Each structure stands twice: as structure tokens, then as C-alpha cells.
Amino acid sequence: MLAAACQMFLGKTEAEIAHIALETLEGHQRAIMAHMTVEEIYKDRQKFSEQVFKVASSDLVNMGISVVSYTLKDIHDDQDYLHSLGKARTAQVQKDARIGEAEAKRDAGIREAKAKQEKVSAQYLSEIEMAKAQRDYELKKAAYDIEVNTRRAQADLAYQLQVAKTKQQIEEQRVQVQVVERAQQVAVQEQEIARREKELEARVRKPAEAERYKLERLAEAEKSQLIMQAEAEAESVRMRGEAEAFAIGARARAEAEQMAKKAEAFQLYQEAAQLDMLLEKLPQVAEEISGPLTSANKITLVSSGGGAMGAAKVTGEVLDILSRLPESVERLTGVSISQVNHKPLRTA
């Protein structure tokens, strides 16, 4: 490339070199434009630039010039054809832009509604999942709580059981200690009792046994004496009882004979005998009637103004009561004392 450049541009200025390069590019540019329409050049500038760069680069390389980049700055014409084409294109573009914007807004609204729907659905699904998760959490938590409470209750019961066992062991040990202490106390007491028994035997029991032997002998003698006295008294009582029994029997026989005689007399004399018995009992009746008066400490008499006063009044009251005895006897026994008195005696 350096040799070609020296051959082509030796003795030329930079402006001349630039002019030659520009004309070469313009020539290749016109050649490519001849194979493309204006609309293609205007619409597809990238394709036009690539073709120009490809053809011009190979030609300029042969001249010793390397093309680094080729860019179209602007495309225009003297008749404003490209400008008018640009307006139509601009209008189409604006139309397409408005349509695209409307479609974009429509699609955006649809997508937004769909997004909102999906959002709501997702929110509902999320809430459902959250509710399910909350439910699962509550269920698992309840199960865990039950397990924890069960373990805690088991631990508490185990602790209480251990405490009870420990207390029981302590109590058993305390009881064992008390038993040992009691056994030691009993042993000490037994030793003390043995010592006191020996002391008692030395100081009291032997003299007491001698005294007891003496008292036993005296008691036996007294017992013998009492037995003899009791036997004598029993014999005396027996003889006295036999005498009293004989006397009672004799008295009973005498009374029986008397009653038999009275019965015979009752059969012989009947009402007279009855009267005799009544008259015999009348003093006793009078005694029983006046008995309460003899035990009275004070007697108060109330008088209506006539009749006897003082002791005469009391005597009169007693005599009045006695005068009514025949009537009472007649009502009780059916026997009239006054009638019996006037009837003749009948013999059998």
C-alpha cells in the first residue's frame, strides 16, 4: 500500500490526495445509486452504506488508502422529492405511531386488566395459600403445643414423682434413723431397767420378799380366822333362819286356822262377820284420813261467818268425813252398816 501510495500521490499535496479520494468515493456512490431506487436509498441507508464501503474500500486500498469507516451524513435532492417522501413517510409513521400507540394502549389496558386480574387472582391465591399456610401453621402449632404441653406435663409429673420419691426416701431414712435412735433408746432403757432391777433387788426386793412372806403368813392366819368366823356366822344364820322359818310356818298355820275359823264364822254369821271386819278396819281408815293433817305444818281455815272456828272446825271437818264413811263403804262393797245393825243374826 505504501508503494502504491508513493506511485499515485508522490509530489501531490494533502488537498489533492483528499480530492482524489473524495471523487473515487463519489464515483462508486453514483454507481451503486444507479442500481437502487430513491425509496430504497432513503429507507435502507444501511444497505447503501455497506455496498459503497465494500466497493470503495477495495479500490482505495489499491491506491494505497485504507478506508476506516463510511457513513452517510444526509440524503437530499434539489426537487425536495426526498423531503416530500419523508413527509408521507412521516405521516405514515405518525399514523402507524398513533395506531401503534392506540394498539399499545389497548394492549396495555388489556394487559393491565389481565395483569390486574392475574394480580387479584394471584392475591386471592396468595391469600388462600396464606390461609392454608396459616391453617397448617395453626394445626402444626396446636400439634406442637399439645406435644410440648404433654412433654411439659410429663416432665412436671416426672419431677413431682421424683420429688415424691425423694421425699419418701428422706422419710424412710428419717424413719430408719428414728428406728435406730429408738432401738438405741430401748437398749439404753433396757440397760437402765436391768441396772435398776439389780439395784431394786439389792435394796428393796429381798427385804420386800421377807416382808411379803411375813404378810402372807399373817394374811393366811387372818383368812383362816375369817373363814371360821364366817362359818360360825353362817351356821348361826342358818339356825336363825330355821327358827324363823318354823315361827313363820307356825304363824302361817295359826293365821290359816284363824282364817278358816273366820270363814266358818262368815258362813255362820255372814253379814255380822262382814260388819265385824268393816268395824275392825274403820279405825285404820280414820287414821289414813287424818294422817295428812298430822303432817301439816300450818293450816289456814276460811269461814263464811257461821259455825265453829279454830280447832273445833278442824275436828268437825274430820268427823264430817268419818260420818260419810258408811255411805262410801256401801257404795264400794254393797254392805249397809246401819241395816246390818238392825237385822237379827242368822245361824246356819
pLDDT for position 270? 60
CA 322, 328, 333, 338 dihedral sign is positive
- pLDDT of 341 > 60? The answer is no
Q: Is the pLDDT of residue 90 over 50?
A: yes
The secondary structure element, H or E, covering residue 72 is none
Query: What pLDDT sits at residue 345?
Result: 45
What is the pLDDT averaged over residues 250-262? 77
Q: Of 236-240, 277-281, 333-337, which range is least confident?
A: 333-337
What pLDDT score does 318 carry?
Answer: 66
pLDDT at 340: 54
Specify the pTM. Answer: 0.26
- For 151-194, give the DSSP string: HHHHHHHHHHHHHHHHHHHHHHHHHHHHHHHHHHHHHHHHHHHH
Q: Which residue has the cell 282364817?
A: 259
The three grid cell numbers given for residue 307, joined into one nine-digit string = 259455825
Give the Å distances, CA to CA, from 307 to 145, 228, 279, 312: 116, 74, 30, 10
Mean pLDDT of 55-65: 83
What is the structure's pLDDT at 89? 67
Q: Are 34 and 41 in contact (CB under 8 A)?
A: no
Q: Work out the pLDDT band at 106, boundaries 50, 70, 90.
A: confident
What is the rounded CA–CA span in Å between residue 290 and residue 325?
13
C-alpha span between 13 and 322 (Å, rounded): 206
- What's the mean pLDDT when you consider all of the chain? 77
How big is the CA angle at 84 (ends 83 and 87), to the nearest 5 degrees?
Answer: 90
Alpha carbons within 13 angstroms on the beta-carbon side of residue 261 total: 6
Are 314 and 321 in contact, with CB atoms under 8 Å apart? no
Look at residue 322 and tell me whether its pLDDT is greater than 70: no
Tell me how far apart the alpha carbons of residues 345 and 269 are, in angstroms, rounded to a whole number.
7
Q: Which residue has the higher pLDDT, 341 or 88?
A: 88
- Asked whether the predicted pLDDT for residue 1 surpasses 50, the reply is yes
C-alpha distances out from residue 60 to 20, 73, 234, Å: 10, 20, 188
Task: Specify the range with the lowest mean pLDDT, choosing from 14-18, 286-290, 291-295, 333-337.
Answer: 333-337
Q: Which pLDDT score, from 0 to 100, does residue 158 have?
A: 85
State pLDDT tens for residues 144-171. Answer: 888 888 888 888 888 888 888 888 888 8
SS3 category, 204: helix
* Residue 280 to residue 314: CA distance in whole angstroms: 25
